[in-house]
A and B are shown apart, each in its own frame.
Chain A
Amino acid sequence: MALNRKSAVIGSALFLPDRCKDKSLEEALYEIAQEAIRDAGLTMDEVDGIVVGSNDQFDGRAISVMMASGSVGGVDRDILSTPSSGEHAFVLGVLRVASGQFETQLVISWSLTEASSLSEAQRLGADPYFHRRLPLDEGSAFALQASVIGAAWPQAHDLATPILIKNRGNGAKAYPGAAGAKVDRQSVDSSRPKRWPLREAMLPPPAAGIVALVIASDAHIEERGIKNPAWIRGMGWATETGFLGDRDLKSAPALDAAAERAYEEAGITDPRKALDLVELTDATPYQELLVYDRLGLSSPDKWQSDVNGGSFSADGGLPVNLSGGVAAYNPVFCTGLMRIAEAANQIRGKAGAHQKNGAKLALAHAASGFAMQYQTVLVFGAERGE
């Protein structure tokens, strides 16, 4: 089901931990929102609506729109908020433009590290009936999922380290000030166990981050003569049940549904061939493997040759996470919108140190919640498409 109207990302701004570190959240949001609007060649008066994605537990502030409105230009303007994930804010922004009611949207999401423990804040995501008394945070859910993936495909345990080395290497180049340092096999394998089978090196520490993107309609882009939009060629999103014990954690039906819709809209039948790069949510290397499979990039019987053969390395046939992914930089709640921004920036030629020359078609995969409960897939193209 194609959207009613074409739209594209025309502006972006990222807050990384080494920037604006002396600012309050409201001050930093103001700066990043303004920068994204400038990057889009707009003034605030030309922004038709704003969608915010943020997490009250992490922020220590209830209902983010109340505190964010002033910072992101939402006073006396159309502004909506979603607490489910940053990528859902993006989906809403695209749908609002597709509705024909809006020409432009500002989408902004953030993640803070001001809480004493994000793990404890995440436990509020578990229901208070059967799960709140368990040690269930995102790290535990990721480890449970890793145990299931490793049981089904034991090679996953061997491939987790090389995937991590790839992503951390990419991150050190992309964001030398913000990303974690490069790692090698010895440093990964000797890092302390945290949530077995995940070692400390496989669970990137939470970092602060803000991502702002500006979406515009095809009419706006044509009228302004914008040269390098990242056209949204396909978009899909889906959700699995909240009860972890109901799910088969080695399958990802929500990702299958999201990818199917995004590929269909984008007219992609062979993603491995069609795509120039992928930005996926690798909260753990096990998740990266699962996503390879469900996106149709590499099935479990090919994981070994693809990972060890460098197919998804920076200089491989299909680079995955040139930014370093979540492994290198983990602004927990907005990692999904980060992936979307990275893929869009690659198409716009604005990715920076990790720009892939001539990138024409890029996929962004976002996952949120316990063991990837929410899945979102975006395909961005340099061409508008049909």
Chain B
Amino acid sequence: MELLKRKEDWKITYTHALGEVASWFYVQLRDNAKIYGRRCAKSGRVLVPPRAFSDQTLEPTTDWVEVGPGGKIEAFTIVYEPFENLPEPPYAFGYVQLDGADTAIGGFFKGVDLKDPHKAAEILKVGTRVTAKFADKRVGDVLDFWFELD
């Protein structure tokens, strides 16, 4: 028999509240091209991206600490498939532990030739030093910065 299918396409827009901590972080990023973390007084760890509390100690974080712009690659991948609202692949992204931070923040790697994945992976290997670079025109978003190899 004839079996039918029904196509549904929903478009819902969410406006998420960022809260005080993420708001302050993005304002600094947007206005001053600086990346900050939050220190947990109990453990001494500096959390980047910043959090209002540590999910390890469950204590509120207490002060802002400027981190980077240098850091080292903790994890990376090279993406060869398109995502919606993202650049055309291939591109590299991953996590970088910025100097002064105890956790890593996600971002794109730029300035690496990705044609040969083996060669690119050798260049982007875990532990490699990178520096955060900032867009001239910043909007207060994680895409305002990216990482380039030193």
- Which A residues fall within an 8 A CB radius of B? 22, 60, 117, 119-120, 123, 128-131, 133-137, 140, 143-148, 151, 192-198, 241, 243-246, 249
Contacts and interface: CB of A to CB of B under 8 A. Distances in A.
Interface in B20-52: 22, 47-49
Given A129-B18, A135-B93, A140 B79 contact: yes
A146 B126 CA distance: 11
Contact of A144 (B94, B117, B141): B94
Contacts of B74: 148, 245
A15 to B, nearest CB: 17
Interface of B: 3, 8, 14, 16, 18, 22, 47-49, 55-56, 74-81, 83-84, 86, 91, 93-95, 97, 103-108, 117, 120-121, 125-127, 141-143
B10 to A, nearest CB: 8
B125 A245 contact: no
B78 A196 contact: yes
Nearest to B116: A193
A249 B97 CA distance: 14
Given A119-B81, A144-B75, A195-B78, 6 more contacts: A117-B84, A128-B16, A193-B117, A194-B80, A196-B80, A198-B77
Nearest to B82: A135
A245 B104 contact: yes
B79 A135 contact: yes
Contacts of B76: 144, 147
Contacts of A246: 47, 55, 103-104
A146 to B, nearest CB: 8
Contacts of B83: 119-120, 123, 135, 137
B78 A60 contact: no
Contact of B77 (A117, A129, A147): A147
Contacts of B97: 245
A133 B126 contact: no
B103 A243 contact: yes
A196 B117 contact: yes
A195 B80 contact: yes
Contacts of A195: 77-81
Nearest to A240: B55
A245 B75 CA distance: 9
A198 B79 CA distance: 10
B95 to A, nearest CB: 5
Given A119-B83, A130-B105, A145 B75 contact: yes
A147 B105 contact: no
A140 B108 CA distance: 13
Contacts of A194: 80-81
A196 B103 contact: no
A206 to B, nearest CB: 13
Contact of B16 (A129, A145, A148): A129
Closest 6 pairs (CB-CB, A-B):
A245-B104, A151-B126, A143-B77, A196-B78, A144-B75, A130-B49
A60 B7 CA distance: 11
Nearest to B86: A135
Contact of B3 (A22, A137, A147): A22
Interface centre among A129, A194, A197, A244 (most CB of B within 10 A): A129
